[in-house]
A = this chain, B = another copy of it.
Amino acid sequence: MTIGDVAKACSLAVSTVSNALSGKPYVRKETRRKVQEAADRLSYRPSAVAQALRTSRSSTIGVLVPDITNPVFSWMVRGIDDVLFREGRSLFVCSTEGREDKQIQYMHALIDRQVDGLILISQHTHGDDIEAILDNGPPFVLIHRRRRGHKEDYVGIDNDAGMRLAMNHLVELGHRRIAFIRGPTTSTSVEERFGAYRTVIAEARLAAEANLVFQGDYTIEGGMQAGKFLLEQVPRPTAILAANDFSALGVIEAAMRLGFRVPEDVSVIGYDDIFIARMPQVQLTTVYQPKRDIGGAAATQLLRRIGALRRGRPKEVIFPVELHVRATTAPAYSGSRVGPWEQDEVLVP
């Protein structure tokens, strides 16, 4: 079932059928109707592949995420899908497992398939290969990790404000020894979060020791390792701030295993506010970020870039964050603070 078949069916040339179907001018109303009718009757659908080859646009976009099983990213994908589906576009979703080689391979695969654009959530934005691909490839939007020294489309959150909110909350609760679990790489978002931690440490003259910082990998297991390491320090930190919720959940698990109570013996704060944090059994104090909206914003910006203003000036969208105070933080060296059903207390910068 090709355009040739419907051309034959209404005894017209293929070019006429093409024009009629794609709403070009210069085709008589009557003819258009006839074509439309024939196409419907034969339930003709144009080959997206042939269209892509001819027009070099595929109405397809590629998304790279570190790990599709992480709710942070799957909700971002959901947000991307929200807006792209409306526009009749399809999504290639690639889960890179944080591996640079896999990311490169996927990026090539996507470009070979002529995606119209790319949305990238990745630690790896600085390798030679990747930079070469980005510089010669289709338009792209970065989420959460920008390229140093480049002005380009970016969607992220106010990492600094989020960390300050969390740190201030702990300081107000009387904590002076606050440990930090940082992310695995040296991406900009990791630096922003880590930077804010150090700034507050310095400003508030808190304990500043190398042993209070542990490099995690954003997984629950990594968080457990970090928790074990940090909780065995003497003197022990009274609060642990994690760069993401999974790490925080791991810390809590480690604390329980070691016989510490949360928050009585140690306060824990996460980052992201994945839905698990809201569960009544968990009630993790954490920094909220609008994951779905972030994805949506990235998709919208990418569409804008693909469309008219291919060479418009780059746009940065920074979403605000909120601290959702739940039950894993309490005054230093105190008893339990909140009951299980107290409403979230929401702090904004």
- Residues on A lying within 8 angstroms of B by beta carbon are 45-50, 52-53, 58, 60, 68-69, 71, 74-75, 77-78, 81, 85, 88, 90-95, 102, 105-106, 108-114, 220, 249, 252-253, 256-257, 275-276, 279-282, 340-341
Contact = CB atoms under 8 A, between A and B. Distances in A.
Contact of A49 (B58, B81, B249): B58
Given A249-B279, A279-B282, A95 B109 contact: no
Given A109-B90, A253-B280, A53 B58 contact: no
List the number of copies, as a whole number. 2
A111 B47 CA distance: 9
A69, A91, A256, most chain B CB atoms within 10 A: A69
Given A69-B71, A69-B78, A60 B113 contact: yes
6 contacts: A48-B113, A49-B113, A53-B53, A60-B113, A91-B94, A253-B280
A45 B113 CA distance: 11
Contact of A112 (B46, B114, B282, B341): B46
Contacts of A48: 109, 112-114
Given A48-B114, A253-B279, A253-B280, 9 more contacts: A47-B53, A49-B112, A50-B53, A68-B77, A77-B93, A90-B109, A276-B279, A279-B282, A282-B282
Contacts of A114: 47-49
Contacts of A112: 45-49
Contacts of A77: 68, 93, 95
Nearest to A73: B74
A48, A49, A50, A85, most chain B CB atoms within 10 A: A49
Given A68-B68, A280-B256, A45 B95 contact: no
Contacts of A105: 85
A41 to B, nearest CB: 15
Nearest to A47: B112
Contacts of A50: 53
Contact of A93 (B91, B257, B280): B91
Nearest to A249: B279
A113 to B, nearest CB: 5
A74 B68 contact: yes
A95 B113 contact: no
Contacts of A47: 53, 112, 114
A280 B49 CA distance: 50
Given A45-B112, A94-B90, A94-B91, A69 B75 contact: yes
A81 B252 CA distance: 31
Contacts of A90: 92, 94, 106, 109-110, 113
A96 to B, nearest CB: 10
Nearest to A262: B281
A35 B325 CA distance: 63
Contacts of A279: 249, 253, 276, 281-282
